[in-house]
Amino acid sequence: MIDLAPDGYVALGTESTVAVLEAKTIITAHLPRTEAEAADVETIGNYVTPALKRTNVQRALKEIPGAQFVGKGEGGRSATVVLTVDCFCPNFNHIDEQKS
């Protein structure tokens, strides 16, 4: 994918790469900070409409520093993994500042 910037066209990457980058932005803005508020992959995908694709959510979560898998659902299926962001992760301080 490409974008037209003031200085000309800029390569953004493949459609898949761009989708994961967008998913990371959405997820880091909404991801719960405590285990008690943890969300499963499906819930995370539904933070926006239309929903994020499950595969993009899973790829984004692997790339987000501070994302923690804190448990699994019935049968240990990855479909029901819950996660939170470690509130002490310095990469997420800007999110708290934006909410203030």
Domain that holds residue 27: 2-99
Q: Provide the pLDDT for residue 82.
A: 56
Q: Provide the pLDDT for residue 42.
A: 87
Q: What is the pTM of this model?
A: 0.67
Low-confidence residues of the chain: pLDDT under 70: 71-100
Q: Provide the pLDDT for residue 79.
A: 45
Q: Provide the pLDDT for residue 90.
A: 45
Our count of domains for the chain comes to 1
Residues 6+ apart with CB under 8 A from 56: 16, 19, 20, 22, 23
Q: Provide the pLDDT for residue 36.
A: 76
Q: Provide the pLDDT for residue 64.
A: 86
Q: Provide the pLDDT for residue 53.
A: 94
Q: Provide the pLDDT for residue 3.
A: 80
We report the CATH number of the domain holding residue 31 as 1.10.10
